Chains A and B, each alone.
Chain A
Amino acid sequence: MADTVQEFVFNLTFPFTRTLGSTLSTFSSALAQGQIIGVRTGGRVIAPPLEYDPDTAADTGTDWVRVGPKGTVSTWTWVPEPTNLHPLDHAFGFAFITLDGADTPMIHLVDAGSESAMSAGMRVEAKFKAPGDCVGRIDDIIAFVPAADPSLSEGAGEPFEAPEENDITEMDAYCDLTYVDNASPTTTMWAKALMEGRLIGQKCPQCARTIVGPRGMCSVCAIELDESHVIEVADRGVVSNFTIVTPVQYHGQTETEPFVRCSIMLEGADAVIAQQEILDIPASEVRVGMHVECVWAPESERSVEDIDNRSRGSGGDAILGWRLTGEPDEPAELYLDRMM
């Protein structure tokens, strides 16, 4: 088998902005001021408040109740090695904490110092960030800590009067996930051929269709294709279709100028390679029927690091693009239907 399998690390990161709606805005605005609230619904106080009553599906309404800042732990666990998504970078506990004045617990961190300090029934107290740092998100509470004074919170259970308008109506939610995929045997074959300056396809023994940018299976016949089905294909052909993309600027976008992606019908094979770039001519001059040939990166500069299992015919950094050969165009009508 392959010596080492290529792995791809992909960081899926994005700054999401969530709008809160009325109930959560009320909670968040109060939280930013250091006050935790719950809502009385169906005979119990749920804190932090939910918008809809789990038992009846009714709107939970606006019967706000002050709760906490102290509460009682009912169940708990200990996190000896926090992940990068946990708010604390030292060992801490998670717990169900029923705040004074509430009937249902909430989940939050307990920064107890050690696992042995955690217990069902322990009294804890919310520790807030500095007022200037509070944004109304649940982690305005850095964590709960063992309560120095276990007595009931002052004012817990009393009504909370919501302001006419809430200050805080949105919440930032940063997604930060890491994936590690590995190159399948088929991707590995494709990438290896690219490094050698060759294009390969796989030909189905049943329907005789060839796919370039092989996938290890025929999507028509549902049969497995492997190295025995590999065929060499020419690195020259005719543009059969293209699209000119005017890039939209989004977080993570890498393009700023209009760019072209085209499909090329490869010479001598009934196969199309997709998602290719055309070099040296402006996007507006790309035409169906143009003869093109592959421009390989110099051998020492070739890289297939970006070729993953979804590359679908992409040449990565082994192919710089395709350039005109100078031959006269083929009639577009013969090719226009072959975008695949």
Chain B
Amino acid sequence: MAPTENDIAIVGFAQTAPDRRTQLTEADLVLHATRAVMADIGLDKSEIGFTVSGSCDYLSGQAFSFVQNTDAYGMVPAINESHVEMDGAWALYEAFVRLLQGDIDVAMAVGVGKNSNSDPSTLYTIEFDPYYLTPLGTDTWSLAAMQARALLESGKATERDFAEVVVRNRANAKSNPYAQVSGDFSIDELLAADYVRNPLRLHDLPPTTDQAAAIILARGKRAYDLCDRPAWITGIDHRIEAHLPTVRKDITTSVSTRLAAEGAGAGKAPIEVAEVHAPFGFQELIVAESLGLDASTEINPSGGALASHAVMVAGIIRIGEAANQITKNGKNRTLAHATSGPCLQQNLVCVMEGDQ
């Protein structure tokens, strides 16, 4: 393929080994992930034209915590650098847009989160409507559980279907060297577990992970200097819905995922592999349906967010994993999805293709 100057590809991806409780700081994790991806493709830091990270102050419990993380970039001489208070998937989006300015041809997007420092059942209460939800200690598991029950009540899925998602993802995770949780389970043994938030059981909830990941993007012909088979981003889009799940028309479907998929041109041709960011297993069913995927698409060969789930990183890892399917596994067209907010409020879709 002869890329134009506006074609942008993923040419490198690295992630740190997921850790339930690392002794490293977020800055250490960023250093490891960025050095790994640069070493992997033979890139020197001086060749990177723009660096952008995604992380969250409140996850670390300190204002400006991303500032310490920038120590890992070696910003002497000064570099073009930015940060988003969002999953690294959106940092990648900013890198993509930045490359389109045309003055640089290599960019690096990073996601990092030391999730083990905080308790997800209390931390995320402050991400929700400050007047109506936070004062009740409304937690992320309860919100997800209510979405799950709504899905059951709609008749679109059963608890067996929920368990099947977990069985499949955990089995897939066995072949992922970067999985924290993996193994063979049966649907019945999963269904025998107690509810943590009816109808969700422990295995339906995302693991807590400390991790960082980095992706290198290259523009135009430069991509071939760094990668034999770049994963060209043929479409990328993200949308957000109303904050309160109660004012959305139907939380058993994801309108923003559908719109983002349309914007990214997902439906133009078959998708061979989709990496779906479903922190709560049952959400994979909603997202897959909203993406318009059918049985011909392999979903989450990595094991998805149930294999490892560092908030701020799980989304960019989906993009990296889907890109790897092209760059390292010979696939031709893959899709990655990332989500944020209560009950799939915000969603990003990235469609990638390899040279034919």
Q: Do chains A and B touch in the complex (CB under 8 A)?
A: yes
Residues of A within 8 A of B (CB): 5, 10, 12, 18, 20, 24, 46, 48, 50, 54, 74-80, 82-87, 94-96, 104-109, 115, 118, 120, 137-139, 171, 173, 175, 177-185, 215-224, 309-310
Nearest Cβ distance between residue B52 and chain A, in whole angstroms?
A: 16
**Complex: how many Å from CA A87 to CA B23?**
34
Report B139-150 CB contacts with A as 1/0, cut-off 8 Å: 100110111111
Is B198's CB under 8 angstroms from A184's CB?
Answer: no
A–B Cβ pairs within 8 angstroms, 14 of them: A48-B132, A54-B248, A86-B136, A87-B137, A94-B145, A96-B245, A173-B130, A183-B23, A216-B28, A216-B31, A217-B72, A222-B72, A222-B73, A224-B35
**Complex: how many Å from CA A183 to CA B142?**
32
Is B246's CB under 8 angstroms from A104's CB?
Answer: yes
Report B208-246 CB contacts with A as 1/0, cut-off 8 Å: 000000000000000000000000000000000011111
Q: Please give 5 more A-B residue pairs, beta carbons under 8 A apart, in addition to A75-B150, A216-B25.
A: A75-B147, A85-B122, A107-B133, A182-B23, A219-B75
Question: Is B295 in contact with chain A by the CB < 8 A criterion?
Answer: no
Nearest Cβ distance between residue B282 and chain A, in whole angstroms?
A: 12
Is B146's CB under 8 angstroms from A95's CB?
Answer: yes
Nearest Cβ distance between residue B47 and chain A, in whole angstroms?
A: 13
Is B247's CB under 8 angstroms from A20's CB?
Answer: no
Compute the total of residue contacts between A and B using a CB distance below 8 Å.
171
Interface centre among B24, B34, B135 (most CB of A within 10 A): B135
Nearest Cβ distance between residue B18 and chain A, in whole angstroms?
A: 17
Residue in A74, A109, A180, A215 whose beta carbon sits within 8 Å of that of B136 in the complex: A109
Is B146's CB under 8 angstroms from A85's CB?
Answer: no
Q: Which residues of A contact B118 (CB under 8 A)?
A: 177-179
Residue in B24, B34, B247 whose beta carbon sits within 8 Å of that of A104 in the complex: B247
B148's nearest neighbour on chain A, judged by CB, is A77
Question: Is B76 in contact with chain A by the CB < 8 A criterion?
Answer: yes
**Complex: how many Å from CA A149 to CA B24?**
57
Is B35's CB under 8 angstroms from A222's CB?
Answer: yes
Residue in B45, B73, B198, B242 whose beta carbon sits within 8 Å of that of A77 in the complex: B198
**Complex: how many Å from CA A320 to CA B133?**
46
Q: Which residues of A contact B125 (CB under 8 A)?
A: 85
Is B61's CB under 8 angstroms from A137's CB?
Answer: no
Is A178's CB under 8 angstroms from B246's CB?
Answer: no
Q: Which residues of B contact A178 (CB under 8 A)?
A: 118-119, 122
Is A222's CB under 8 angstroms from B23's CB?
Answer: no
Is B132's CB under 8 angstroms from A18's CB?
Answer: no
Q: Which residues of A contact B199 (CB under 8 A)?
A: 77
Q: Which residues of A contact B76 (CB under 8 A)?
A: 219-221
**Complex: how many Å from CA A319 to CA B291?**
59
**Complex: how many Å from CA A105 to CA B125?**
19
Nearest Cβ distance between residue B95 and chain A, in whole angstroms?
A: 18
Q: Given contacts A50-B247, A75-B150, is CB(A137)–CB(B135) below 8 Å?
A: yes
Q: Given contacts A180-B117, A181-B61, is CB(A86)–CB(B28) below 8 Å?
A: no
**Complex: how many Å from CA A109 to CA B139?**
12
**Complex: how many Å from CA A143 to CA B277?**
34
Q: Given contacts A76-B149, A185-B23, is CB(A139)–CB(B122) below 8 Å?
A: no
Q: Given contacts A50-B247, A78-B197, A220-B76, is CB(A215)–CB(B71) below 8 Å?
A: yes
Q: Which residues of A contact B196 (CB under 8 A)?
A: 80
Q: Which residues of B contact A74 (CB under 8 A)?
A: 150, 153
Q: Which residues of B contact A175 (CB under 8 A)?
A: 126
Q: Which residues of A contact B153 (CB under 8 A)?
A: 74-75, 120
**Complex: how many Å from CA A83 to CA B138?**
10
**Complex: how many Å from CA A219 to CA B130?**
38
A174's nearest neighbour on chain B, judged by CB, is B135
**Complex: how many Å from CA A132 to CA B288?**
50
A24's nearest neighbour on chain B, judged by CB, is B131
Question: Is B134 in contact with chain A by the CB < 8 A criterion?
Answer: yes
Q: Which residues of A contact B117 (CB under 8 A)?
A: 179-181
Is A83's CB under 8 angstroms from B121's CB?
Answer: yes
**Complex: how many Å from CA A107 to CA B138?**
9
Q: Which residues of B contact A20 (CB under 8 A)?
A: 131
Nearest Cβ distance between residue B325 and chain A, in whole angstroms?
A: 29
Q: Which residues of B contact A120 (CB under 8 A)?
A: 149, 153
Q: Which residues of A contact B142 (CB under 8 A)?
A: 77, 79, 94
A106's nearest neighbour on chain B, judged by CB, is B246
A98's nearest neighbour on chain B, judged by CB, is B246
Nearest Cβ distance between residue B293 and chain A, in whole angstroms?
A: 25
Question: Is B296 in contact with chain A by the CB < 8 A criterion?
Answer: no
**Across chains A and B, which 10 residue pairs bring their CB atoms closest together, nearest first?**
A222-B74, A85-B137, A77-B145, A54-B242, A179-B61, A219-B71, A86-B137, A75-B150, A220-B76, A78-B198
